[in-house]
Amino acid sequence: MTNETSLDVSEITEQTGSKWRPDVLGAGYEQRSIPLGPDPDGEGDISATLVRYLPDSGAAATECAVIYVHGFTDYFFQQHLAEHFAARGHRFYALDLRKCGRSLRDGQSPHYVTDLAFYDEELNEALRIVKEEAGEQVLLVAHSTGGLIVPLWLDRLNRTAGVAASGIVGLVLNSPWFDLQGPSYYRTIGTPIIGALGRFRAMLEMPGGSISTYGDSLHKSASGEWDYNLDWKPLAGAPVRFGWLRAIRRGHFRLHQGLNIGVPALILRSRLTKFMRKYGPAADVADTVLDVKQIQRWSGCLGDRTNIVPIENARHDVFLSSAEPRAKAFEEMDSWLDWLAVYRRKAESPEAGA
């Protein structure tokens, strides 16, 4: 992966606004800022950043465009994912949400929001830009916390404007965060405590949150194979603040009530969870971040056709797994995308399926 220290991203995005400019990932990648005005959480002016991949091949895109949304302590750097979609004929875009990755500014708290619905603003604008550039049909791909944010947005969008009218045709979720991991009391008596602290001491950091097991399994400076910006994706993660965790729990509660995202969804996850406080070889073949049983349990709450596929020996981000499970994840996604294309054609022209 590319080392991303040679370009001052904040200077580019603040000075150029809606113009596409070179991105930190190098040749073939561009970015543009999405200004969002004053932060509703009081940390100055904020923006999001949309990244696009323009391969040198010049081949015309033949499939729906893709918008990728990252998770917590994350941003878009997975060039192999962009290249895979481009090879299939998709125009690829990725969104760094407000105060995340490319969008983080001095004095702001990484990833901090007190309401997940705040993200609707940049999601709506990213969708508008992508449809304007790449056509009317869009596939969404989201990882971890992004896998909670995006279904909640789709549910709201479906209830107001209709997902089909918005041009969204499907959703791929990579280890979505559907419930709070850990002992059961975190999800019972712990949730009211999170709610109270999140309301009255929102910026208070949750103790004991600094564990580098997952980061150590990924980054090449430790035991991994991937290179990315450790200022934007620290090995031990970003601080977990109670105001943000309260927003997450409210999102979980809404999901558990049942959503209607309006499109078919593929959910990829590891087959195994292994919580570890220090890195060991087991961290390379399991999800060390989320409880995969919770992903399985709550996936039915999305409210449309869902296909849940466990990937043997996958990490939390299945597309950052070692070579064999990573290849299996791509194979499963490609198979589902082929099915989705047929499903869409039949839906658009029922006589074609006769």
**Per-block mean pLDDT, blocks of 10 residues, the chain (354 long):** 41 56 97 98 98 83 94 98 97 98 97 98 98 94 98 96 90 97 78 90 86 96 97 96 97 98 98 96 97 97 96 98 98 98 85 52
Select from 228, 329, 205, 221 the least CA-distant residue to 279. 221
State the residue range of the domain holding 327. 21-346
pLDDT for the residue numbered 10? 41
Task: Write down the pLDDT at residue 14.
Answer: 44
Is residue 14 situated within a structural domain?
no
User: How far apart are alpha carbons 245 and 37 in whole angstroms?
Assistant: 24
CATH of the domain at 291: 3.40.50.1820
Alpha-carbon torsion (104, 110, 115, 119), positive or negative: positive
- Decide: pTM greater than 0.75: yes
| Predicted local distance difference test score (pLDDT) of residue 126 | 98
Calculate the alpha carbon distances from 281 to 6, 21, 95, 284, 317 in Å.
33, 40, 32, 6, 16
Quickly tell me which residue has 């349990």 as its tokens.
297
Residue 353, domain member (yes or no): no
Q: Is residue 352 part of a domain?
A: no
167 part of a folded domain: yes
Look at residue 354 and tell me if it is in a domain: no
Q: What residues contact 328, with CB distance under 8 A and at least 6 apart?
A: 311, 312, 314
**What does each C-alpha distance from 33 to 26, 215, 289 come to in angstroms?**
17, 28, 30
The predicted structure's pLDDT at residue 116:
98
Question: How many domains is the chain partitioned into structurally?
Answer: 1
Q: What is the pLDDT of residue 189?
A: 82
Is residue 15 situated within a structural domain? no
The encoded tokens of residue 102 equal 């490319």
- pLDDT at residue 350, rounded to an integer: 64
Residue 12 lies inside a defined structural domain of this protein: no
Length of the chain: 354
4 part of a folded domain:
no
Tally Cβ neighbours within 10 Å of residue 266.
22
